[in-house]
Amino acid sequence: MSLNREQKLAAWTTPLNGILCLALVLACEIPEPPDAVWVHIPEGASLEAVSESLATHAIVSSAASFARFARMGQKHLGIKPGTYPFRPRTPMGKVLGALRKGRPPVQRVVVREGGWLDEIAATVQQRMGIPAESLHAAARDSALRSIAGTRGQNVNGYLFPTTYYVPVHASAHEVLRQMVDTFVTRWRPEWNARLDTLGLSRDELVTLASIVEGELVHGGDRGEIASVYHNRLARGMRLQADPTVVYALGKRRRLYHGDYAVKSEYNTYRFNGLPPGPINQPSLGSLEAVLYPPDTEFLYFVAQRDGRHAFSRTYKEHLRSIREIRGRRVKPKQAAGQ
């Protein structure tokens, strides 16, 4: 419904910055436990540096105790450089065993909230040298689509947005399997009962969450946006969601009046109900907003200059909001796509 795609793109934040020496990166999936902490141990790191870093981040309880334990039988001499996932308060024996076993070299790949499959494929190609076409082919794999449970022709929508550490020699299928598995891990079992209450399948909910994600500049009003779309679906109204038009066009850019007529089953200005699949990778916040929207009577919204949205219950109120935001008179037929 709202435009302002340039603001939305500008709102994408630069992912995790590098940290000198021993770098610990939180909330990264391989998939490992969701609370895993990734530790990068560079070539030639001293036992003292390793021990102190592990203790600082609560992976072991004491740096001195871990160092003494590691020196027993000079086992510390077998510690290998690499990037390791650990859970907080892991037994020292398991930590040391993992450090001595080593891990294959990994590449850092970021999947952004609201990212398109095309964009993820380009990132993987740039970071890992896997051709984008190979990733697209893997995304259509029937086994992966079955794991995701998607209605769509690929696993778009199920590549959970986070930072991944991917083995450098992974195939396109292995890269996407890691991302899909992370989505499955993050999906909470209690949400399945909520789907029954809403009368939606998981794929329908992910599709709606991806539309909400596409509208966002500020996450604070995602609940109200979700409520608008739920209310429109309940009343048999077309969603008229701008992000679906942008997706149908295949290029992130400002929309013009003629764009709303694009012939695509993803264009929610032309077709009733939800599009045939997700349009991007929704965040946990958008999934939760669609699962548990606030109870409102809103049916319309328009983007304000700061990127937040003004919500309206009636079309008349909606036109008034547009006039107030844009400072000019808007005819009813010009309000499409707001």
Distance separating alpha carbons of residues 190 and 188, to the nearest angstrom: 6
Quick check: helix, strand or coil at residue 22?
A: coil
pTM: 0.76
Compute, in degrees rounded to 10, the torsion defined by CA atoms 92, 97, 99, 100: 140
Distance separating alpha carbons of residues 63 and 54, to the nearest angstrom: 7
Q: What pLDDT, on the 0 to 100 scale, is given for residue 58?
A: 84
Q: What pLDDT, on the 0 to 100 scale, is given for residue 12?
A: 36
Residue of 267 and 42 predicted with greater confidence: 267
Instruction: Report residue 94's pLDDT band, with 50, 70 and 90 as the boundaries.
Output: very high
Instruction: Report residue 25's pLDDT band, with 50, 70 and 90 as the boundaries.
Output: very low
Longest CA–CA separation in the chain, Å: 82
Neighbouring residues of 74: CB distance < 8 A, sequence distance ≥ 6: none
Q: What pLDDT, on the 0 to 100 scale, is given for residue 334?
A: 45
Distance separating alpha carbons of residues 132 and 227, to the nearest angstrom: 36
Compute, in degrees rounded to 10, the torsion defined by CA atoms 41, 46, 52, 58: 30
Helix (H) or strand (E) holding 23: strand 23-26
Q: What pLDDT, on the 0 to 100 scale, is given for residue 37?
A: 80
Percent pLDDT > 70 in the chain is 86
User: Taking residues 232-237, what's their average pLDDT?
Assistant: 97
The two tokens of residue 82 are 């690499």
Quick check: helix, strand or coil at residue 24?
A: strand
CA within 13 Å, CB half, 80: 12
- If you search the block for the tokens 């794929």, which residue do you land on? 203
Instruction: Report residue 30's pLDDT band, with 50, 70 and 90 as the boundaries.
Output: very low
Q: Which range among 8-17, 161-170, 211-220, 319-328 has the greatest average pLDDT?
A: 161-170
Alpha-helical (H) ranges within 74-188 are 92-101, 117-128, 132-139, 142-148, 172-186
Strand partners, 29: 164
Does residue 3 carry a pLDDT above 50? no
Does residue 245 carry a pLDDT above 80? yes
Q: Cis (ω within 30 of 0) for the bond into 282?
A: no
Neighbouring residues of 53: CB distance < 8 A, sequence distance ≥ 6: 22, 24, 39
Edge-to-edge order in the sheet of strand 82-86 = 23-26, 37-41, 82-86
Indicate the average pLDDT of the chain: 86
60 φ, ψ to 5°?
A: -120, 160
